[in-house]
Structure 1
């Protein structure tokens, strides 16, 4: 599946063929997909400096088989990586989500609960966009603490947690409900200091991991076009569309591979004691991970949009109305890439470059 020469060594250590094969045997029920997530967590590397290539390759391989499965797996692996960086153990057999979104009209606050212990908090309010909250055992959830935000580990199987799966009416990923969750005095344990989750390099890397899923999902769609083109070698339209798709996917892969190689680059030999934990990818402090992540995500989004449009326009309505797997992939991927905010994210790139630079020209 991997062809870019920019991939770091960690990517070559991942058996994407085995991941693809195993993912293909997974059922569509949430618990089936979460069982696969636990299996993958035991075989594929978690995202950190030195293993980013492997982590991204594994996610892409899952998405190439099943986009909704990748949408289930990615936050579980992300949560385990975050917990490992924070030095917080995950309960055996647990399944995790990461609920960090904000939305107008919804606020989640954290209040210390000294009666329960020095590190005990209670969460109250509503958290939007909580994928699979009714099926997970735990979640990492951001909440407001004073003027900042902090990350908390929450056992979802406790009184005070109310999941609103019925609010999810999407045609893409219909069995990965991502409705809001109300929390009423729910017990929570801090993971990292206030602000740590959002400011660490790993936050930006996680966003690139999502883009790896987009790319993998587009690879799966491209395979549909390749089979169609192979069945009709006389069609110049199909061959041209396949050629354009090859170029788009190569551009996206190069973006991901280059970012992975940047993350996996070891710390400088002369790094001093203030340079941070190698697992956080801290080098000399000059790396603008926010810019790297956003440029990578936007490049992948552009390529995936082009593949979606080109493949659907070329294969026509037939597969979309008669092949459940193709119809689901198109709907799932079209919704998934909307985690990128299009023009708003491009404006974010422009602001970063205007304020801090970051480009060679």
Structure 2
């Protein structure tokens, strides 16, 4: 896997759609690899937005920010004081971080850890001897290629990235969430490949064509949602990453994620109904694509996220005003 500075444009700088299209294209080819590239590009954007730095050539970053009740990583001040680089930032991390994708391939990561019981973001050099990935824990073959596992930190030096709340309290957090949805769209495209091939044959039946038409509506509509969101972000320009109205950024992001999740879910269902068990049983590439997409879109929090949209639809939905 290539490393170094992400070649994707930063969100909110005039070419956001190209950024998301790049992620979609990568995930359409290889969902797990594309998901890891998305995290690397997200880390690059986070560093640029919060502290004005970028990932360096030769580095490959993860973003490990899941905060389940347990296990947890805690941060404490280092007696050595502040330094100048990753691993020399005046902090030390201890504990176990769950849901760490790319643990075996990442050189660095942005990690959330508890500072006085509040999550705070830290940059960590994963080549430190106190970092160790735990084996096992991932039971589903879907997205297994991301190498997601728990990682243990023992007296690992770290650098704080911004102040408390800097990671979550910014529009860029939600722009990154739409980038994940762009990856889901690529996963859905991968699932649809056999249906496109079947429907292109001279003997294609009307049922397969009808399912392909419905998939075109779903995936094409999801692409339009990404187009519209990118235009809104780019029209705002630099304000897109500094606007204090986080509710608007969150509403946009969750709406797009909901649209894309529903599109991919519909695609999985329709491709299966159109083609039957054959491709799932006999085509390893298709079987893996379905497994990957099924697991990946479950990052959408279903009715919980839809309820959040309902709470803000009256003020930020646009159509519901008046």
With normalisation by structure 1, the TM-score equals 0.82
Partner of 1:54: 18
Deviation at 1:280, TM superposition (A): 4.8
Which deviates further from its counterpart, 326-335 or 117-126?
117-126
Q: Is the 8 A contact 1:152 1:189 kept in 2?
A: yes
- Confirm or deny that 1:337 pairs with 2:297: yes
- SS state of the match for residue 123, structure 2? strand
Q: Of 264, 270, 279, which residue of structure 2 is paired with 1:304?
A: 264
Give CA deviations for 1:131-150 in whole Å, capped at 9, x if unaligned: 01122111001112125322
Q: Of 166, 174, 177, which residue of structure 1 is paired with 2:144?
A: 174
1-side partners of 2:246 and 2:24: how far apart? 29
Partner of 1:216: 186
1-side partners of 2:94 and 2:266: how far apart? 42
- Confirm or deny that 1:259 pairs with 2:223: no
Unaligned runs of 5+ in 1: 1-33, 268-277
Give CA deviations for 1:170-212 in whole Å, capped at 9, x if unaligned: 2102222211111122110111111111111110000000000
Deviation at 1:91, TM superposition (A): 3.4
Note the aligned Cα RMSD (angstroms).
Answer: 2.0
Partner of 1:11: none
2-side partners of 1:47 and 1:166: how far apart? 35
2-side partners of 1:147 and 1:358: how far apart? 34
Q: Is the 8 A contact 1:160 1:186 kept in 2?
A: yes
Q: Is the 8 A contact 1:141 1:152 kept in 2?
A: yes
Cα distance, 1:317–1:48 mapped onto 2, change above 3 Å: same
Q: Is the 8 A contact 2:191 2:293 kept in 1?
A: no
Q: Of 37, 62, 70, which residue of structure 2 is paired with 1:73?
A: 37
Partner of 1:292: 252
Cα distance, 1:281–1:49 mapped onto 2, change above 3 Å: farther
Q: Of 76, 79, 90, which residue of structure 2 is paired with 1:120?
A: 90
Q: Following superposition of structure 1 onto structure 2, how do residues 1-361 of structure 1 map, counting pairs within 5 Å? A: 34-35=1-2, 38=4, 41-42=6-7, 44-85=8-49, 86-117=51-82, 119-267=89-237, 278=238, 280-283=240-243, 285=245, 288-353=248-313, 357-361=316-320
2-side partners of 1:331 and 1:174: how far apart? 10
Deviation at 1:282, TM superposition (A): 3.2
How many equivalent pairs are there?
A: 314
With normalisation by structure 2, the TM-score equals 0.91
